[in-house]
């Protein structure tokens, strides 16, 4: 149960998650009831052999802007790849760093930090939640790694979550623009 709540997505194909997935899958109703007591909802995507939990309403802990934009970009890239039928047999989207940076810039209207260590840190955070991770770059590729986006990103960042992120970002932008205007009017 702890592993499910902390990681959000559990995959049968991940060696360190397979036992937990099998146990949860075999006792779906009991686990659904247990996580419901914590205000969470348990879901399964059988074709990708994954289970996930999402928060059922309530207050969610805020992410910083960089994490939010990073995850929104991953979700956008995954959606684009899935719409084009360009996924691996396991339902993953494999992209290179350049494609991520290009998508980030077009979606966020700003350049990504560009540092490899920043990207690695963000990918470690997303791997803990079962949505993406760094993988070895294809042979002969000069980039240090590639990005594997897992199908769980669709469940964790659902349309509801995307709308919530969008509203929060819009509110931040309005507040950021209002602050200088308020200072000017008091001067």
3 state SS of 103: helix
Per-residue burial over 123-145, b if 16 or more Cβ lie within 10 Å, else e, is beebbebbbbbbeeeeeeeeeeb
Residue 33: the pLDDT is 93
Structure-token pair, residue 58:
């309530």
Put simply, whether the predicted model's pTM sits higher than 0.85 gets the answer no
Residue 185: the pLDDT is 46
Contact 105, 112 (CB under 8 A): yes
Residue 142: the pLDDT is 83
Residue 181: the pLDDT is 47
Parts of the chain with a pLDDT under 70 = 57-63, 114, 159-187
Residue 61: the pLDDT is 62
């Amino acid at each position: 149960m702890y592993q499910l709540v902390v990681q959000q997505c559990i995959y049968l194909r991940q060696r360190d998650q397979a036992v937990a997935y099998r146990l949860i899958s075999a006792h779906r109703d009991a686990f659904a009831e247990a996580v419901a007591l914590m205000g969470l909802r348990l879901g399964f995507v059988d074709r990708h052999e994954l289970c996930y939990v999402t928060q059922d309403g309530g207050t969610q802990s805020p992410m910083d802007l960089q994490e939010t934009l990073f995850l929104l970009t991953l979700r956008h890239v995954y959606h684009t790849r899935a719409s084009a039928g360009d996924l691996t047999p396991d339902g993953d989207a494999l992209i290179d760093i350049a494609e991520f940076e290009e998508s980030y810039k077009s979606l966020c209207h700003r350049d990504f930090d560009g540092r490899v260590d920043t990207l690695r840190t963000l990918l470690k955070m997303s791997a803990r939640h079962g949505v993406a991770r760094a993988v070895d770059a294809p042979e002969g590729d000069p980039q240090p790694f590639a990005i594997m986006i897992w199908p769980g990103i669709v469940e964790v960042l659902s349309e509801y979550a995307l709308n919530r992120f969008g509203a929060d970002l819009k509110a931040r932008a309005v507040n950021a623009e209002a602050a200088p205007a308020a200072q000017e009017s008091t001067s």
